[in-house]
Structure formats: C-alpha cells, structure tokens
Amino acid sequence: MEQIFQEYYLLARDYVDQGRDKLNEVLQQYDPSQIVLISVVSYILIKFALDTLCFIRKEGIITPVTTTVFYYAKKIPYVQTHINGEFEKFRKEFRGLLNKTTDTPTREMPQKGESAQKIHDIITKWSDRDSKIWRGGKISGAIYAAEDDAH
C-alpha cells in the first residue's frame, strides 16, 4: 500500500514541478507588479466563477438571470414610474380596506374603563367581522389558526 502511495505522490510532485516550471517560463516576461496584478485578477475571476457555479448548482440558472434582469429593469425610468404607480394604487386600495374594516381608532386611554361585558361584545364583533373577511379569502393579522374553534 505504501509503495502505491509513494508512486502517486511522486507522479503528483512531477506534475506540480512541471506546472511550476511552465508558469515561471510564461511569467518571466512580466514585471513583478504585473505578476501581482495578474495573480489578483486571476484569483478574483476564479473565485467569482466558482461562487457562480455553486450558486447555480443550488438555485438553478433561472434565479440569477431573473434577479439580474429585474435589478436592471427597475432602473429604467419608465419601469420605475410604472412600479411607483402600481404601489400607489395598492396603497390607496389598502387604506380603503383598512378604513372599511377598522372601527374608530382609540388614540388615548379612556378616563373610565369599559365593563367586561362591553369588552367581550367588542371582541366578539371584531371576531365576527374578521371571520367573514377570512372566509372570503382574505387574511387578518388576528387569525393565527385555520380551525373555527381557534377564534
């Protein structure tokens, strides 16, 4: 076993020596500063390529392509205007929904507290209202489980 290991070790060492000699031969025509620059740029490119390949292997090719396309597309003024318009429509619709489903907000602590029965009635009213919204296919921040007995 040790004999086989020794043979492969010597073979690998010969390949490394040949590679080093060839690299030294190629790099003799450059100044030391150019060699440093070539080394740094080569490292960055190889690292980028390996990171990209690992990402593509995990995420697939579609994710990086669409991410890049959408990143640059959002910088186009026409697209920015369209996105801002859609956000504004959403904000108005959302505010309208909030106003429709929200009772008058309480902005300060009342001087006198409500009775337990009144608080129970308010919570029941909210639960009934939110259940209708929930059953209609919309969600409420007050819904934590899908079972009817949860709320």
- In the prediction, which pLDDT does 148 show? 57
Pick the most confident of 18-32, 49-63, 100-114. 18-32
Q: Are 75 and 68 in contact (CB under 8 A)?
A: no
Average pLDDT, the chain: 82
pLDDT band of 41, cuts 50, 70, 90: very high
Residue 126 has pLDDT above 60, yes or no: yes
Quick one: pLDDT band at residue 125, thresholds 50, 70, 90?
Answer: confident
The label of the residue with tokens 């070539």 reads 38
Per-residue confidence band for 149, with pLDDT thresholds at 50, 70 and 90: low
Is the pTM here over 0.75, yes or no? no
Q: Which helix (H) or strand (E) holds 123?
A: helix 116-135
Amino acid letter at 82? H
CA pair distance 65, 49, nearest whole angstrom: 15
3-state secondary structure of 114: coil
One DSSP character per residue, 39-63 reads HHHHHHHHHHHHHHHHHHHHH-SHH
* Residue 151's pLDDT band (cuts 50, 70, 90): very low
Task: Measure the CA–CA gap between 140 and 130, rounded to whole angstroms.
Answer: 7
What is the SS3 assignment for 146? coil
The pLDDT of residue 142 is above 60: no
